[in-house]
Chain A
Amino acid sequence: RKEVEQDPGPFNVPEGATVAFNCTYSNSASQSFFWYRQDCRKEPKLLMSVYSSGNEDGRFTAQLNRASQYISLLIRDSKLSDSATYLCVVNTGTASKLTFGTGTRLQVTL
């Protein structure tokens, strides 16, 4: 089983749509969880941390279910500028080593 698993997509959605991405992780000892965004040939950029209680940042909502080892990201009112690859990232707690999923590609169209 992959350490962090994501649907690679692509997800093609019209502007204004709501889109959800899911991720599962295999290491139950994982301590911190993040969504990063990566544009083509650029570095990953932290989008948001993910907390057990769920958290929201503007149009973005992240959820964590530790029992199911499942993380989600919801994007409301999609913008063209949201087009990117969204990376599910897990910190296993050792010296902040991050384990990345392969990413889910989002393409927002007019």
Chain B
Amino acid sequence: NAGVMQNPRHLVRRRGQEARLRCSPVKGHSHVYWYRQLPEEGLKFMVYLQKENIIDESGMPKERFSAEFPKEGPSILRIQQVVRGDSAAYFCASSLDRGGGNQPQHFGDGTRLSIL
């Protein structure tokens, strides 16, 4: 998974706190995707962003969750007022283009969020 960097790798928060997850895509990639994975399940799409724009946030809860991908700096997934159900692994992926047949996504190693 070289290239996509996520930090922190592990994040512990108490209920009601805020969680900020960061993702630096592969150099030169301008398309970023966030996924959530619960134990023993596949990844679930949350949001797709291009530089400074949210393209599709259909998989992201309307409340408490937000994402951004600024012109400079990493993409941020922000979860406000966290609850126990937010505990999961959050993966970021990037691609060079919006998704042609030869443009697979490159994934980071995820941030494991634990809510106490």
Co-assembled chains A and B? no
Give the A-binding residues of B (Cβ under 8 A): none
